[in-house]
């Protein structure tokens, strides 16, 4: 039986978890997401045989690994559940997979390699909005996806599973560097939690991305936050949604 947790155990999560517990809206979102993924349909977990499911369950017990247990019963780690409840950000380029995919340059022009992969209507709509924005620094046409993790059926290793892909507008802004302040990732999530929840309550279903110490400008390092507004949800009055996101970010800086 394999020993060790499938993910490194997050350190200093208490403040983040307490913020969630103190917000009834957040608790409701987390419970709803868990119940939506909890296996009540054979098709959802058909990739695991009864033997594999039992092995995953016993490994989770043996290693005291909550994420392994949750993956066995609902295909989500604890942090997957939080991400897919829109209670913590998605990590930029998690698991070494590009997400979000930025398709325009700093002047709003479509990058050559994406010219055959983007609907002209989507790009033209983005560019019209881009030209009218008062502040269009670090605003891009992008693709992004939500994800969770699942066991592979051949060797019971974990892999990322894409749930839904979207095209939309990505706004990237810098935040104070939490690495130089010796903050763990969970502590960094806690530091931006109030900002993220205000974004989610005002722009439901927006994707928030976060990168610790990942933005470099003028030889200085910053954390960065990305707000992704999917066209499927925010296409109507998109410019107003962008302005609302900007107002929330700058009010919290």
For the chain (253 residues), the mean pLDDT of every run of 10, in chain order, is 52 84 92 81 55 76 81 83 91 90 95 91 89 87 91 71 91 78 78 88 91 66 86 84 87 65
pLDDT at res. 144: 96
Cα-Cα-Cα-Cα dihedral sign, residues 165, 171, 172, 175: negative
Alpha helices (runs of H) in the chain, residue ranges in sequence order: 14-21, 24-37, 50-63, 66-74, 78-84, 120-132, 185-191, 193-202, 231-234, 238-251
DSSP state, 17? Answer: H
Q: Report whether the peptide linkage leading into residue 203 is cis, meaning its omega lies within 30 degrees of zero.
A: no
Closest CA to 97 of 142, 155, 145, 151: 145
Q: What is the pLDDT of residue 44?
A: 46
Please check whether residue 178 is in contact with residue 213, taking contact to mean a CB–CB distance below 8 angstroms: yes
pLDDT at 85: 92
d(CA 157, CA 248): 40
What per-residue confidence (pLDDT) applies to 202? 92
Q: What is the pTM of this model?
A: 0.80
Q: What is the pLDDT of residue 2?
A: 46
Query: What's the pLDDT at 253?
Result: 56
- Among the listed residues 236, 231, 202, 44, the one whose alpha carbon sits nearest the alpha carbon of residue 142: 231
Q: Is 102 within 8 Å of 170 (Cβ atoms)?
A: yes
Q: In the numeric block, which tokens belong to residue 13?
A: 């999560």
Note the pLDDT of residue 15: 85
Note the Cα 4 to chain centre separation in Å.
25
Domain boundaries, the chain: 14-251
């Amino acid at each position: 039986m394999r020993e060790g947790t499938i993910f490194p155990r997050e350190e200093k999560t208490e403040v983040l978890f307490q913020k969630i517990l103190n917000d009834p809206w957040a608790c409701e979102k987390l419970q709803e997401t868990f119940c939506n993924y909890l296996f009540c349909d054979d098709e959802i977990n058909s990739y695991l045989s009864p033997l594999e499911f039992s092995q995953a369950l016993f490994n989770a017990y043996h290693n005291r690994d909550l994420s392994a247990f949750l993956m066995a019963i609902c295909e989500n780690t604890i942090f997957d559940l939080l991400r897919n409840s829109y209670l913590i950000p998605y990590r930029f380029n998690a698991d070494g997979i590009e997400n979000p995919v930025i398709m325009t340059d700093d002047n709003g022009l479509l990058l050559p390699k994406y010219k055959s992969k983007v609907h002209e209507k989507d790009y033209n709509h983005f560019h019209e909005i881009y030209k009218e924005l008062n502040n269009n620094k670090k605003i891009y046409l992008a693709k992004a996806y939500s994800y969770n993790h699942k066991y592979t059926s051949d060797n019971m290793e974990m892999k990322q599973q894409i749930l839904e892909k979207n095209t939309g507008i990505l706004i990237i802004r810098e935040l104070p560097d939490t690495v130089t302040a010796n903050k763990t990732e969970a502590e960094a999530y806690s530091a931006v939690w109030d900002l993220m929840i205000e974004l989610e309550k005002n722009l439901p279903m927006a994707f928030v991305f976060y990168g610790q110490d990942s933005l470099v400008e003028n030889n200085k390092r910053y954390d960065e936050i990305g707000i992704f507004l999917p066209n499927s949800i925010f296409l109507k009055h998109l410019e107003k949604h962008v302005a609302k996101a900007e107002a929330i970010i700058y009010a919290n800086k």
